[in-house]
Amino acid sequence: MPKNIYVKEQTPLVSFIVTTYNLPETLLKECLQSIIDLSLNNREIEIILIDDGSDESALAQIEEMRDRIIYLWQPNNGVSVARNMGIKIASGKYIQFIDGDDKLIQAGYEHCLDIVRFNDPDIVLFNFTNKDDDIDTPYLFEGPVSGDEYMRRNNIKASVCSYVFSRRILADLKFTPGVEFGEDEEFTPQLILSAERLYATDTCAYYYRPNHTSVTHGKGMRKLVKRLADAEHVIFNLYHLAGTLPIQDSAALRRRVAQLTMDYIYNTIVLTRSKHQLNKRIGNMEKHGLYPLPQENYTWKYRLFSRLVKSETGKNLLLLMLPLLKREK
C-alpha cells in the first residue's frame, strides 16, 4: 500500500513529481534540495516523491525533509505507473516531473517560474544539460503560440522533465503502463497539442545525469528488443491518433511521427547493425503506411536520411557509416 507521510492543505502553484528507484542518498537529497531552494514559499510548492519499489525505502534518506514532502511507495511497476500515481495525487496548478538522480538549475528554473507567474501559460518548454559548468541564463522566451503551431515549426524535445505545464491541459492523458522506453515520446506531443498558450525559452533549467545502467541505455538483447517494440507501439499509436485529429493538429503530429520513425530506423541500424533486422523493421513500418518516410523539408538531416533509406545503396551506406559515427561520439 502507498505510504503517505504528509498532506498539504492549500493549493500550491507547482507540484514537483519526483521518481526514485534504488538511488544513492546523496543524489536524491541533491535533487530534493534543488526544489526546496527555489523562491517558492511553502504554500506555493508541493513535492511528491514516488518510490518505485526500492529495495530499501527512500524514506530514511529524506528524514530531515519529511515535513516538506509527500512520500509514496509502490511495488516496482516502472516509471510510467509511478508518474501516473504522482499525477493522481498532485494538487498544484502546474506540474513538473523530475527524475530523482537529476536536479533543477536554480537561475534557469527561476526564469521559468517568472514566465509561469506573469504570463499564465499552459506549458513552458526549457532546455536541459548534463554539464556541470557555469551556465549562462538567457532571459529571452517566445510565446504565446498554440501547441500545434509550435510542433509544425519545430522538432520538440520529448523529455517530460523539460517543461512545466498547467493541470488544465492534462485532461485524461496518462502514461502507458508497461512502456519502459519512449514513454515521454508518447506523452509529450499529446500534451503540447492541448496547449493554447505555449512559451519556450533557451534557458537551461534542468540538469540530468547520464545513467548508463538505466533502461534507456541498456544494451542487453532483452532490452534491445523491448526498446524497439516500445518505439513501434508509440509510433503506431501516435500515427493512428493523427488520423483522428483536426487538420492543423494532425499535421503537427504527423511531423513528430515522421521524426520518430526516422529515429526508430536509425536506432535499428546502430543497435543491431543488421541488414536483416533493418529490412524486417522497415517492413513493419511499411505495413502501417509509415515507410517510405514522407518527403517533407522538416530538417536537412531528415531530408538526407529519408532519401538514403529509400534505396538499397543508401541503406548499405547507413549500415556502414552510422555505427562508426555513433562510436566516435
What's the confidence (pLDDT) of residue 219? 58
Q: Within 10 Å of residue 127's Cβ, how many Cβ atoms?
A: 17
Going by the DSSP 8-state scheme, the letter that residue 216 receives in this structure is T
CA distance 266 to 186: 18
Domain 14-207, CATH 3.90.550.10 — does that match?
A: yes
For the segment 68-120, what is each residue's pLDDT rounded down to a tens digit? Answer: 999 999 999 999 999 999 999 999 999 999 999 999 999 999 999 999 999 99
Query: Average pLDDT for residues 290-313, to the nearest whole number?
Result: 96
Report the phi/psi class of residue 141: left, alpha or beta, with left for phi > 0 and alpha for psi in -120 to 50: beta
Q: What is the pLDDT of residue 34?
A: 97
Q: Which of 188, 305, 181 is nearest to 253 (CA)?
A: 188
